[in-house]
Structure 1
Amino acid sequence: MTPGGETRRDAPGPSVVLAVDSGGSGLRAVLAAHGTGYRPASGAGTAAGREGLTAAAPIALSDPLTSGEPVRTGPRGISAAHLLEQLLPMARRLMDDAGAVRLGAVAVGAAGLATLGDELREELPAALERELGVRRLALVADAVTAYTGALGPRAGAVIAAGTGMIAIGTDLTSWRRADGWGHLLGDCGGGAWIGRAGLEAALRAFDGRQGGSPELLAGAEEVFGPMPELPGRLYPRTDRPAVLASFAPQVAARAGSDPVAADILRTAARHMAESAAAACPPDGEPLLALTGGLFRMGEPLLAPLREELAARVPHARLVPAAGDPLDGALRIAVALADGRLTLPQDDRMLSVVAEKPYPEIDALNSA
C-alpha cells in the first residue's frame, strides 16, 4: 500500500496468471492460480489415472470474460491495438474481482499468429508490461494452445477442426504442423471445405450434372434460397469461410441416406488423417486427440475418421481431448509463471518474452 492507501501494482500480494484465447468468434480471458493451483486428473494416483488422458490442469478463478468481437487484422497483421482495447479492461476487471495485484505470467493464444503475428510480437510485450506490469509473456499460435489444451505437455498430435483445419504435433523438441492454410489454399476436411463440397454437389444436381445430390440441393435451398441467387449471397461476404462451414451440418445430417454426402465426409476424414500423419511423431506410441467444433457433427464424420486414422497413423493412440484452447493457454501461463515450461519454443508458434530479473526464462529461451 502507498501512504495514501492505494494498492501498488508492483507490491507483494496474490499472484495469478492471465490466459487469453483470441479467435474467429472473439476474445476470451481468464485468470488462474499458480504454484499450488492444480487439481489432479480423474483417477489420479491410480493405475488408471497414470494411464489417463488428463494431465494436471490449472484451476480457473472465475468464468472467462468474452468480448464477442474478433480482433481485427490490418496491413501489419493482427492488430495489437485492437487486441489491447478489448483485453485490458477484461484483465483489470478479472484482477479486481480476484483481489490480485500481480500477474505472474500471461499467455496470449491467437489465431493467425504464425503468419500474421508480427505486430503482436513487436508491440504486445512492452504494452502489457506498461499497462499491467507483465514481466513474463508467451505469445502462442492457436494451434499450439489447442494442442496444449487437448494433450498438455506430452508427445503426440492434435487435429483441430472447426471452420478451418490444422494438424499439429510435437516430440517435445520441435513442432510439426500440416495444413491450416486457409479456405482458399487448404484447410482440407474442415467445416468450410465440407460445406463448399456439399454446395458444389447441390449445384451439380441443380444443373443436372453427374455427381450431384438432390438431397443436398434440397438442403441448400432450405438454407440459402434459390440456387441462382447463391453466388450473390456468398461472394460479397467477408465471412465466406464461416458461411460455407454453416452448410457442413447439412452434409452430416444427410450422410446416412445420401451416398454423395457420405463420400464428402469420407474424403474429409482422409484429408484430416493425412495431415495427422504428417504432423504426428513417427516413433513410439504418441497420443492423438481431436478438438474443435466440427467434431460435434458426431459419428457421420467420426466413424470414417477413426478408420482413416487407424490406417494412416496406426502407432498413435486416440484419446479424448482434455480441454480447449483457453485451457491450453492457462496451462502455458501457469508453467511459465512457475518456471517449468517444457513445450518447445519457436519464433512463430510459441515464443516467450521475459524481462529481468527472470534468469531462468533466459536460460529456457537459450536452451
Structure 2
Amino acid sequence: MSARRVLAIDAGQSDIKVRVDDGSRREDLAFRGIHTGGPLLPQLARVVHETLQRTGTEPDIVAAGISGLTDRDADADALLSLVHADGVRATMLAHDSTTSFLGALGDRHGAVVAAGTGVVTLAVGATDTARVDGWGWIMGDAGSGYWIGREALDAVMRAYDGRGPATLLTDDALARWPDLSQAYMALQADHDRVRVVASLARNVARAADAGDAVAREISHRAAQQLAWSARTAVRRVRTDEPVFDVCAIGGVFASRTLHDAFAAALGEGAGLRLVAPQGVGIDGALALAEITTAHPLGTAVHRAGAI
C-alpha cells in the first residue's frame, strides 16, 4: 500500500465497515448498515464525515465497495462533491462483488461467493468476468441471510398452523414476537424488516448445528443455492484451467452445517476447489485504491478526481 491516505468503506446492509490507512497506521470503525430504500451517496458522505471526526484523519482517497450498487448510485463525481470539503481528492466506487473478490483472492483467477444479508458471486477468469445474483431480497439473493431468515419464518408459521413439523426456530421467533399471530403485522411495519429477517439466519445456524431437522434442511437448501451460483459463474469464465478456486465469505458461512453442505455441493462440479480467503470485504475496499484500469476488474470501478 502506498503512502496515500485512504478511507476504505465496505458498505453492507447489516453494517458498514470502515478502515482508515495513512501508510503508517490503520484504524477500523463500524457503522449501521446502509438503508437501501434511501439515497445512497448522502449515507456514505455521513460515514466519511463521522469517521473524520472520530479519527482526525484527512484522507486523499475514499474507496467504497457497496452492496447492491446500481448505475444510478455509482456516481463517484457526486460523492466527491459531498466530501471534497473534507480534503478528499478522489473517490472510487464499486459493487461489493468487486471488493469481496479483491479481498478474498486479490489478483488470482477464481470465484468468490459473498453471502451476508444479501449474496453475490463474482468469477474472474483469464479473459472474462461473470457476476451471478446479487439481485436483492425481492428478486434474488438465493441462499443469503435474508433468504434463510425468510425460510425460517415460513417454517415457524407452518409449524404454528400445523402445516409443518415442530422446530427450535419457533422459540427464537417467540422471543422476538410473543404473539406469533401478530408477528407478520409487526414485521411488515418494521422499517428495518430486511435486516430483522436476515438476522434470523444466526438462529438457523445455531439450530442446525444443534441437530434441528428443519433448520438443517433450510441450511442445506441455502448451500445448494450458493453452490449453484458459484458453479454458474465459473462456467461462464472458465477456459482450460484444470482446477478453479472458489472462496466462500460472509456471515452466512459461519454456520458449520451450511459451510459443510456448500463444500459438498461444490464438489459435485468437477475441478472446483474451495480455498480459504486471504482477506474480507474491507481488505478489498482498501485494495480498490490501488486498482488500475488494466486489472480485469478495473472497468468495474467508478472514479472521480485525481491523486
| TM-score of the two chains, using structure 1 as the length reference | 0.72
* Alignment CA distance shift 1:175-1:351 (3 Å): farther
In structure 2, what is the equivalent of residue 202 of structure 1?
156
**Shift of the alpha carbon at 1:128?**
4.4
In structure 1, what is the equivalent of residue 257 of structure 2?
300
**Shift of the alpha carbon at 1:30?**
2.6
Aligned: 1:17 with 2:6: yes
Q: Following the alignment from structure 1 to structure 2, what is the Cα–Cα distance between the partners of residues 92 and 218? A: 42
Deviations 1:67-91 (A, max 9, x none): x24445567x42x234223313524
For 1:328, what is the secondary structure of its paired residue? Answer: helix
Deviations 1:262-320 (A, max 9, x none): 221111111001111122232313321111111222x21111111111113x3222111
For 1:246, what is the secondary structure of its paired residue? Answer: helix
Structure 2 residues not aligned, in runs of 5+: none
Deviations 1:7-33 (A, max 9, x none): xxxxxxx64333222222444433335
The one-letter code of the counterpart of 2:277 is A
* Alignment CA distance shift 1:341-1:28 (3 Å): farther
Tell me if structure 1 keeps the 8 A contact 2:216–2:257.
Answer: yes
The one-letter code of the counterpart of 1:351 is H
The one-letter code of the counterpart of 2:18 is A
In structure 1, what is the equivalent of residue 304 of structure 2?
353
**Shift of the alpha carbon at 1:331?**
1.3
RMSD over aligned Cα, in angstroms? 2.8
| TM-score of the two chains, using structure 2 as the length reference | 0.85
**Shift of the alpha carbon at 1:224?**
2.6
Aligned: 1:86 with 2:43: no
* Alignment CA distance shift 1:175-1:198 (3 Å): same
* Alignment CA distance shift 1:306-1:69 (3 Å): closer
Deviations 1:164-214 (A, max 9, x none): 1211111264431111111221111111111211221121121111x4334
In structure 2, what is the equivalent of residue 189 of structure 1?
143
Structure 1 residues not aligned, in runs of 5+: 1-13, 35-59, 359-367
Q: Following the alignment from structure 2 to structure 1, what is the Cα–Cα distance between the partners of residues 43 and 205? A: 37
Tell me if structure 2 keeps the 8 A contact 1:161–1:294.
Answer: yes
For 1:317, what is the secondary structure of its paired residue? Answer: strand
Larger radius of gyration: 1
Q: Following the alignment from structure 1 to structure 2, what is the Cα–Cα distance between the partners of residues 250 and 18? A: 34
* Alignment CA distance shift 1:65-1:154 (3 Å): same
For 1:117, what is the secondary structure of its paired residue? Answer: coil
Give the alignment partner of residue 330 of structure 1, picking from 271, 275, 286. 286
Tell me if structure 2 keeps the 8 A contact 1:18–1:106.
Answer: yes
* Alignment CA distance shift 1:133-1:260 (3 Å): closer
In structure 2, what is the equivalent of residue 111 of structure 1?
67
Q: Following the alignment from structure 1 to structure 2, what is the Cα–Cα distance between the partners of residues 322 and 303? A: 20
Task: Provide the aligned length of Structure 1 versus Structure 2.
Answer: 300
Q: Following the alignment from structure 2 to structure 1, what is the Cα–Cα distance between the partners of residues 34 and 116? A: 18
Q: Which moved more, 1:167-176 or 1:187-196?
A: 167-176
In structure 1, what is the equivalent of residue 246 of structure 2?
288
The one-letter code of the counterpart of 1:87 is V
Tell me if structure 2 keeps the 8 A contact 1:196–1:245.
Answer: yes
The one-letter code of the counterpart of 1:319 is V
The one-letter code of the counterpart of 1:306 is A
Deviations 1:51-104 (A, max 9, x none): xxxxxxxxx7122233x24445567x42x234223313524764x55xx7x72x
Tell me if structure 1 keeps the 8 A contact 2:62–2:92.
Answer: yes
